[in-house]
Amino acid sequence: MSVITVAAVQMDIRICDVSGNFERALAWLERAASLGAALIVLPEAALSGYCFASRDEAAPHALAQDAEPLQRFAARCAELGVTGVLGYLEAAPGEQVYNSACVAMPSGEVATYRKTHLPTLGVDRFLSKGDRLPTFEAAWGSLGCLICYDVRFPEPARVLALQGMDVLAVPTNWPAGAESTPDFVLRARARENRVFVVAADRVGVERGRQFIGRSQIVDATGRVLAEADGEEETILFAQIDPAEARRKRIVIEPGEWEQDPVGDRRPELYGLLGAPANA
């Protein structure tokens, strides 16, 4: 498999309506699959909503990894032969709650990514931080996942790229004020790591907070292949060749002008990356 179609679902979400949001997310998944998408990314917290006032309010809307909606999502991805990425609040052992993404493969395999960087915003104020940056293997290549604020940091995307990631899925909830992410950050992460980025945002207003849409698909050069507006529910589609992400060296003029944003790194100079912020 070389060229595949990827899709970003931009949808509105109703807070506290897990069952209703799930049925709508499943309908979007099926529509995207029917139009040929092999990878389908849906927004952050797509089942629960985001603007909770406390952990106690959010917890009843969190799902265990084996909850029925997630099992149905995984089963439908397997039936459709697609890879699906769906944001939700995860209820974990020890009364932990995470901002997570369900990554469902055509094989029926299901994995979870837990948001590793939490802003002081919405439900993230009350959640636990994930502690892993895994990649997931699909028939077409290697998939990484970061959620919303995670992508503001260059390090996690770089770590995923060093593990062989071809495509970065970004379920997100960008509020008004976060325009710099679709304006600059996604393009930078794509360009500096030579990977594709599929970012699915939400639209609408939740408890007075406006979400900006502008879901994007970005190629490995940092070029925006598709972008949604700030108001409408929609699906973005683009065709990509994941193998392009494995060609890190950029040859503009052979022997005269070449660059490799991954291979030309100088890790021996980057020791402060592992130090506390105030070191």
Q: What is the CATH number of the domain that holds 56?
A: 3.60.110.10
Tell me what the mean pLDDT of segment 125-132 comes to.
Answer: 98
CA distance 211 to 46: 13
Q: Is residue 265 part of a domain?
A: no
Q: Which of 51, 77, 90, 115 is catalytic?
A: 115
Give residue 277's pLDDT band: very low, low, confident or very high (50, 70, 90): confident
Q: What is the pLDDT of residue 1?
A: 56
Half-sphere exposure of 192 (CA within 13 A, CB side): 16
Q: What is the pLDDT of residue 276?
A: 83
Instruction: Determine whether 44 is an active site residue.
Output: yes
Q: Is residue 199 part of a domain?
A: yes
Instruction: Determine whether 115 is an active site residue.
Output: yes
pLDDT at 274 over 90: no
Name the residue type at position 201.
D
Q: Which of 44, 77, 90, 102 is catalytic?
A: 44
What's the token pair of residue 89?
A: 């609040």
Instruction: Determine whether 129 is an active site residue.
Output: no
DSSP 17-50: -HHHHHHHHHHHHHHHHHTT-SEEE--TTTTT-S
Q: Above pLDDT 90, what percent of the chain?
A: 97
Nearest Cα to Cα of residue 136 among 95, 105, 170 = 105
Q: Is residue 238 part of a domain?
A: yes
Q: What is the pLDDT of residue 279?
A: 54
**47-84 residue pLDDT tens:** 999 999 999 999 999 999 999 999 999 999 999 999 99
C-beta of residue 112 within 8 angstroms of C-beta of residue 87: no
Nearest Cα to Cα of residue 140 among 258, 6, 42 = 6
Q: Above pLDDT 70, what percent of the chain?
A: 99
Q: Is residue 103 part of a domain?
A: yes
CA distance 164 to 176: 33
CA distance 149 to 122: 12
CA distance 87 to 98: 11
Our measurement of the distance from residue 104's CA atom to the centroid of its chain's CA atoms, rounded to an integer in Å, reads 13
Domain count, the chain: 1
Q: Is residue 141 part of a domain?
A: yes
Beta pairing partners, 167: 143, 196
CA distance 218 to 221: 8
pLDDT at 207 over 90: yes
pTM: 0.97
Q: Which of 51, 77, 148, 206 is catalytic?
A: 148
Please, what is the average pLDDT of the chain? 97
Q: Is residue 129 part of a domain?
A: yes
Q: Is residue 278 part of a domain?
A: no
Tell me what the mean pLDDT of segment 98-103 comes to.
Answer: 98
Q: Is residue 270 part of a domain?
A: no
C-beta of residue 153 within 8 angstroms of C-beta of residue 14: no
Q: What is the pLDDT of residue 266?
A: 95
Residue range of the domain that includes 139: 4-247
pLDDT at 16 over 60: yes
CA distance 221 to 8: 19
